[in-house]
Every structure is written in C-alpha cells, then in structure tokens.
C-alpha cells in the first residue's frame, strides 16, 4: 500500500525537485516508522545507542538540506536471481530495467537512476575485472558491488573499499541481525553491510530425474554417483571443496582442515572431471533452464526464485555450506552517497521483506521476517520455502562456514582447484 | 615556383635537405618503431624477466634467474599444450576447408555481388565475440535447434548425446570464430588471379581439376599461408571457446595462463607459459613457411 503511495507521489515529484526531496524525506521517515512499528520484538530504530538515525530528520524539514543530492545512475554489480522481479522479467527470470519493484521504488524515492547489472557469476571472475583499476588506484566504474565474505574481507584489508558514512545508513545500523555483526574483518561495519546470506547444497529437477529414471540425490554421495557429465559443481572453490570435505566425512572448518584434506577432496573429484564434470558460476541457472543437468551444487534461493517447475534445492545429509554476500562501495565510486542510500533503503524491513519474498535467501535485516510472513498471509509459505528463508535448528546445526582460510591453505586450494578445472 | 626557390637556396640548405632525404625512411619508420618498442619489445623483455623471477604478488616478484617457472610450465601442462595445438590445428584445417570454396566462389562467381557477399562474411562479426560464442551454447545445446531436431524429430542421435562440453564444441567454436581471418586473405589472393591464366591452362589441354591444381591453387598459396597463420595463431592462444564450450578436459594453454595470472597470481609461470607459446608459434610458422617455400610469403 505504502509502496504504491510512494510511486504515485514519485511521478508528481519529478516535476519539481524540491517536492521530490521533501517526498524522499517523507519516504525515509515512513520507512523508519514502519521499521519500528512492524516489529516490536526488534526495537532497532529506537534502541541503538550510537549513530542515531539522523538522515531522515534533516530532509523531513523542507528547509535547505545539508545532505548531498543523490547522484546517478547508481552502478550496481550483483548476481543473478538476487532481486525481486515482476511481470515479464519474472517470467524470463532475468532483470530488465523497470522490472524490480524495489529498484523502481528507490528510483522514485530519490529521483535517481539505478543501473542494476547482473554481472557477477563468481567472485574470482568478477574480481579479475576489478583488479587492474584497484591496483592502479582508478575507479572501477561501479558504485555498489556484492561479494562473498572471504572476497569482501580481502578487498577491505587491501584498502580498496570506501568507508561507509554511518550517518547515511541508519536503517543498516539499526536493523542488521546480531549474528552478522562484529565480523572480525570489519567489526564495526565500516566497509560492508550484508546483502543476503545463503547456503550451498544440491539442486535438481524432479521431472528431469524422473524422465531418466535416476533417484533424487539426498546426500553428496548420491550427487557424486550420478553420471559425471550430467552434474555440475561450482567455480567457487570454497563451496565445491567445502562440500567435498563434508562428502568425505571430514570437517569443513578452516581451523581444522589441512592441505592433505584438500588433496583428498581433489583426488575424490578428479575422476569425475575425467568423465565430463563441469564447474559453473551462477550460470548454472541457464543449465537448469535448458534441462541440461541432472543435479548440481547450487545456492539455496536461486532455484526457488528463478528455477522452473520441478527445480528443487535439498540440504545434503552431510551438511551445507553457509556464507554471506556483502554490499560494498569500491574505492573511487562516483555515486557513493547514492550507494549508501541504497544500502539504507534495502535495510528497511519492509523493502527487505519484499526482496526476500522473491529471492528466498536468508535475510540479514531484523524485522523483515514478520512482514514477510504477513505478505504471505493469504497463502502461507510451505516448509520448503520457509526452510530456505529461515533455516530451522536442525539445518543450522548442519551449516559449515569455509570462508576464511590461511594464506597457505588458500594457495593449496587454488592450486588444486585449477588442476580440477584443467588449468 | 618551387624550382626557383631551390635555385636561390644556399648550398648549406641543399645539404640539409639531402640529409633530411637520407633520414626520411627512418623518420617514416619512427612512429611504427616507437610503437613496437613501447608496446612489444619492452613488454616482451619484461615478461621474459618475469618468467625468470620468483616471489608472490604480495611480497613482490624478484629477478632470481630461476628456471623453476619453465620447469613447472613444461612439466605440469603438456595436456593443455597438446589441446591447444590440436584444436588450433583442427580449427585452421576446417576453416580452410570451409573458407576456400567460399572465397573461390566470391572471387570467381561473385560478379556484382562480390562486395555484398564479402560483407555477409563479416557482418556477424559486428557482434561481440563473447555473445557469438555464448550463442553456440544455445545452438549446440542438448535440446537446442540442432540436437533437439536430430534427437526428437529424426531420432538419429541418442537422447543423452551432448556436444557442449566436448572437444567438438571447442573446435566448432574456434572454427566459427576465426573463419573470416581465413576467407579474407584467400579471397584477396584468388581475386588477383588473372582468369586468362586459367583459360590458357584449358587451351593447353588441362582439364578443370588440373587447371585448378596446377594454376589456381599455387597462385592462391600466399592467401593460404596468410589465412592459416591468421587463424592458427589466435586459435592457439584462445581461451574463451574452451571456457564457454569446453569442460575441464578440453582446457587450452590460454586457460592455464589465465588461471595462473588471475587466480593463483603466479606471474612467473604465466609469463613462462606465454613465452613457450610464442616460441611454439614461431617454430610452427617457420616450419610451415619452409614447407610452403619462403617466396610464397610475399606472394
């Protein structure tokens, strides 16, 4: 309801900027209110002691605003199946300008354009395109990027990420889930805010498997047993090797894993590559769309949001990998303030719930859960979707984080994985 | 008017002019040479020195004159080297087999449509290389227009037959992507042939095949040479086709260099591999030129 209001007013506001900025203030104010009101259990926007939500107050007053004017277009690089879509784009499962309610609402609210690009297929592949500008101190051309924990930590430690002005992101400060706070690599969230958390497990299409008379894999062992040229693993080495460790009954914990363990995983997977196993990034979605694979290592929300009928995600018996993708502003970003506004915008629980209701990942925003359940009141979510969105205790117990490796382990991992990929 | 000006000019000025005339070739060469030095020779030297260095990206690479990188490069990746030579070679041969009839037809039968036909050869290449290669994933996909038809409509191939992720797909991609580099030089060579030579051959009782074999083809050899070099070298170093259309068993040396350079940040091995690739190409081209006769190079 409120979204529609903002939309209508947004159109009017285009005529006069002043009106627009007043509206923006109103929108933010509204967002702050709903955030507090919807979830009394998370008194986020009230109780947080440090940076108070200053952003809305100055712009609520129609008097001259000390805040900078949002500039655009916001150049946002992210992954496939990571934003809410409607209409034709939702059918095609591919973002097209104008197809995402969240982005349209942001555009109207701040009168700024957003260039949302599904550019990231895997961390290393995308990082390869940034490395040269980062090293030479040039802008990357992106204002907002979304990268997984280990890569985020590396970028931050290299000083390649802009510091976030916390006074511009009161929603983030207030609503970030406690479990995601105090990360050792950026304890105060000076440089990152999580976009989504997710899990890595097994995906397959029930119909495809039925047609070829193959059993649905329940464990990693089952997955490995399928014809190797009809399964894919991930180019994210931490996912493939993490699950590989679990498959061998080893612990996928960087503190305990040794180079020998990684070698064992390599030796376990190598015969499969000789029989045609492939490694994919987020583009496994195209393989699923084309029914090219029987089963694959996939990320938890993708098939639910962007799969076709019969596409299913299962939590392997041996366990799942867990990770978080993080929003960051690369050094030299042209529209840093707009990027911060976007971070703040998606940390409004209402917006977060709207995104979650489409992408089916694990939401980093406090207060989104209740709104999300309210959104689906008429047709309550089934346990399959609920498990993806709010992993229950038995699944949480099976989660393993294989993100942060020592430099030596990282080097062995890369070497072994390159060999598996035939490189 | 200018003649008068020269006559009036002092002898010293004439000397300056003469000296300038003497230097003209060098001055004309200067931009090209400078380009080569800055963008080829200097980087090549740097790359060579890098291949003899050791260290890491974080601590910096130091020139240690160590040949470890070459040992790794030779010891670890013979398969990918073999793949490169095989796929690059096959793509070149297929390009020749496809390209020659096309170039021949355009040159001798094209008539007033010559330019249009040549344009049609190039037109697909206005689209990005990547997009065209990715399109092959769809074209050759398991349920794509080709295999889907063969599987379901004709039933001549088994249902689990697949092309993507096999050497066939990689060679097909390479062949397609480098085809114009074969057709255009062949066309230029064939176009230059005086049709009266073929008539003369016919007059001398050569049948059509003999005329082709003894007259047309030898005269087209410079085009064959240029075309196959232009096809083979980039195909050998290509990594896009193997990445998008292949599987871990079909990776080429370009993929290894990419992995070493961007993933493992192992610059010395990447540099060594690049050097080995350059050397391999140089040797292959030399042998090829010898076999074909060096005079054919210049046409």
The answer, yes or no, to whether residue A14 has pLDDT greater than 80, is no
Are the folds of A2-196+325-375 and A198-323+387-420 the same? yes
The answer to whether the CB of B43 falls within 8 A of the CB of B62 is no
* pLDDT tens column, B49-96: 999 998 887 778 888 898 889 998 888 898 999 999 999 999 999 999
Residue A94's pLDDT band (boundaries 50, 70, 90)?
A: confident
Question: 3-state SS of chain A?
Answer: CHHHHHHHHHHHHCCCHHHHHHHHHHHHHHHHHHHHHHCCCCCHHHHCCCCCCCCHHHHHCCCCCCCCCCCCCEEEEEECCCCCCCHHHHHHCCCCCCCCHHHHHHHHHHCCCEEEEEEECCHHHHHHHHHHHHHCCCCCCCCEEEEEHHHHHHHHHCCCECCCCHHHCHHHHHHECHHHCCECCECCCCCEEEEEEEEEEEEEEHHHHHHCCCCCCCCHHHHHHCCHHHEEEECCHHHHHHHHHHHCCCCCCCCCCCHHHHHHHHHHHHHHHHCCCEEECCCHHHHHHCCCCCEEEEECCHHHHHCCCCEEEECCCCCEEEEEEEEECECCCCCHHHHHHHHHHHCCHHHHHHHHHHHCCECCECCHHHHHHHHCCCCCCCHHHHHHHCCCHHHHCCEECCCCCCHHHHHHHHHHHHHHCCC
Average pLDDT over residues B119-148: 86
Where in chain A are the domains? Answer: 2-196+325-375, 198-323+387-420
Nearest CB to B142; choose among A131, A290, A420 = A290
* pLDDT tens column, B248-261: 889 999 999 988 88
Residue A52's pLDDT band (boundaries 50, 70, 90)?
A: very low
Q: How many CB atoms lie within 10 A of CB B212?
A: 16
- What's the CATH number for B78-298? 1.10.3720.10
> Which of A159, A418, A419, A420 is the mutation pick for testing B, counting most B CBs within 10 A?
A418
Cβ-Cβ contacts under 8 Å for B209 (sequence gap 6 or more)? none
* pLDDT tens column, A287-338: 888 888 899 999 998 998 888 888 999 999 999 999 999 999 999 999 999 9
The answer to whether the CB of A345 falls within 8 A of the CB of A106 is yes
Domain with CATH 1.10.3720.10 in chain B: 78-298
Nearest CB to B165; choose among A128, A278, A414 = A278
Task: Please give the pLDDT value at position A42.
Answer: 33
Query: Cα B205–B209–B213 angle (5° rounding)?
Result: 100
| Pairing state between β A311-314 and A144-148 | unpaired
The answer, yes or no, to whether residue B114 has pLDDT greater than 60, is yes
Residue A243's pLDDT band (boundaries 50, 70, 90)?
A: very high
CA distances from B106 to A93, A221, B183, B189, B247 (A): 44, 58, 10, 12, 37
The answer, yes or no, to whether residue B9 has pLDDT greater than 80, is no
Class assignment of domain A2-196+325-375? alpha beta
ipTM over 0.85: no
**A129 cis-preceded (ω within 30 degrees of 0):** no
Contact A274 B247 (CB under 8 A): no
Task: Please give the pLDDT value at position A253.
Answer: 87
Exposed/middle/buried for residue A63 (C-beta within 10 Å: 0-12, 13-18, 19+): exposed
Average pLDDT over residues A68-95: 89
* pLDDT tens column, A273-288: 988 899 999 889 888 8
Percent residues over pLDDT 70 in chain A: 84
Contact B80 A423 (CB under 8 A): yes
CB contacts, 8 Å: A124 with chain B: 262-263
Residue B5's pLDDT band (boundaries 50, 70, 90)?
A: very low
Q: What is the pTM of this model?
A: 0.76
Question: How does the average pLDDT of chain A come out, rounded?
Answer: 84
CB contacts, 8 Å: B262 with chain A: 124, 128, 131
Contact B258 A423 (CB under 8 A): yes
Class assignment of domain A198-323+387-420? alpha beta
Nearest CB to A415; choose among B79, B164, B264 = B264
């Amino acid at each position: 309801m409120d979204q529609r209001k903002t939309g209508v007013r947004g159109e009017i506001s285009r005529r006069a900027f002043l009106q627009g900025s007043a509206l923006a203030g109103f929108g933010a104010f509204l967002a702050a209110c709903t955030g507090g009101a919807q979830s009394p259990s998370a008194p986020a926007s009230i109780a947080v002691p440090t940076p108070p939500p200053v952003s809305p107050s100055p712009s609520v007053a129609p008097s001259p605003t000390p805040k900078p004017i949002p500039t655009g277009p916001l150049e946002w690089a992210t992954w496939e199946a990571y934003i809410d879509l409607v209409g034709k784009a939702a059918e095609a499962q591919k973002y097209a300008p104008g197809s995402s309610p969240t982005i349209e609402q942001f555009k109207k609210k701040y009168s700024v354009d957003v260039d949302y690009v599904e550019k990231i297929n895997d961390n290393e592949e995308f990082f390869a395109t940034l490395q040269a500008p980062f090293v030479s101190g040039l802008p990357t051309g992106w204002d907002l990027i979304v990268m997984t924990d280990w890569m985020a930590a590396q970028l931050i430690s290299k000083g390649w990420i802009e510091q976030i002005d916390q006074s511009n992101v009161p929603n983030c400060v207030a609503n970030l889930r406690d479990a995601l706070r105090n990360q050792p690599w950026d304890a105060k969230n000076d440089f990152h805010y999580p976009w989504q958390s997710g899990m890595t497990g097994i995906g397959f299409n029930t119909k495809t498997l039925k047609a070829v008379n193959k059993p649905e894999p329940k464990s990693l062992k089952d997955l490995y047993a399928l014809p190797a040229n009809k399964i894919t693993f991930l180019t994210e080495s931490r996912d493939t090797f993490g699950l590989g460790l679990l498959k061998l009954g080893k612990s996928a914990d960087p503190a305990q894993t040794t180079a020998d363990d990684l070698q064992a995983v390599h030796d376990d997977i190598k015969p499969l590559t000789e029989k045609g196993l492939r490694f994919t990034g987020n583009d496994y979605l195209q393989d699923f769309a084309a029914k090219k694979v029987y089963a694959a290592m996939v990320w938890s929300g993708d098939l639910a949001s962007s799969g076709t009928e019969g596409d299913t995600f299962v939590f392997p018996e041996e366990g799942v990998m867990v990770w978080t993708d993080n929003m960051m502003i690369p050094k030299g970003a042209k529209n840093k303030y707009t990027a911060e506004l976007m971070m703040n915008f998606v940390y409004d629980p209402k917006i977060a719930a709207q995104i979650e209701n489409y992408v089916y990942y694990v939401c980093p925003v406090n207060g989104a859960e209740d709104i999300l359940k309210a959104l689906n009141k008429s047709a309550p979510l089934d346990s399959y979707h609920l498990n993806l969105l709010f992993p229950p205790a038995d699944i949480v117990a099976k989660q393993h984080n294989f993100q942060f490796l020592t430099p030596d382990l990282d080097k062995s991992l890369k070497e072994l994985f390159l060999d598996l990929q035939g490189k | 008017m200018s003649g008068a000006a020269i006559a009036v000019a002092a002898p010293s000025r004439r000397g300056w002019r003469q000296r300038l005339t003497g230097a003209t070739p060098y001055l004309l060469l200067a931009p090209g040479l400078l380009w080569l030095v800055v963008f080829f020779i200097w980087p090549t030297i740097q790359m060579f020195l890098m291949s003899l260095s050791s260290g890491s990206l974080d601590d910096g690479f130091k020139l240690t004159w160590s040949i470890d990188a070459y040992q790794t490069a030779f010891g670890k990746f013979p398969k990918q080297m073999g793949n490169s030579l095989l796929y690059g070679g096959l793509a070149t041969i297929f390009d020749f087999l496809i390209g020659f009839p096309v170039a021949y037809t355009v040159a001798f039968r094209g008539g007033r449509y010559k330019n249009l036909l040549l344009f049609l050869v190039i037109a697909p290449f206005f689209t990005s290389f990547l997009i065209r290669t990715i399109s092959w994933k769809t074209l050759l996909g398991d349920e794509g227009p080709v295999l889907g038809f063969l599987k379901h409509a004709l039933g001549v191939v088994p249902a689990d037959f697949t092309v993507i992720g096999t050497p066939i797909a990689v060679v097909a991609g390479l062949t397609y992507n480098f085809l114009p580099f074969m057709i255009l030089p062949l066309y230029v060579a064939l176009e230059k042939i005086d049709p009266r030579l073929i008539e003369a051959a016919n007059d001398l009782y050569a049948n059509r095949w003999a005329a082709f074999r003894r007259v047309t083809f030898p005269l087209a050899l410079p085009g064959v040479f240029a075309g196959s070099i232009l096809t083979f070298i980039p195909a050998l170093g290509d990594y896009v086709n193997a990445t998008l259309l292949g599987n871990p068993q079909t990776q080429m040396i370009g993929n290894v260099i990419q992995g070493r350079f961007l993933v493992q940040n192992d610059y010395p091995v990447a540099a060594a591999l690049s050097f080995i690739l350059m050397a391999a190409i140089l040797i292959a081209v030399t042998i090829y030129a010898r076999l074909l006769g060096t005079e054919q190079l210049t046409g």
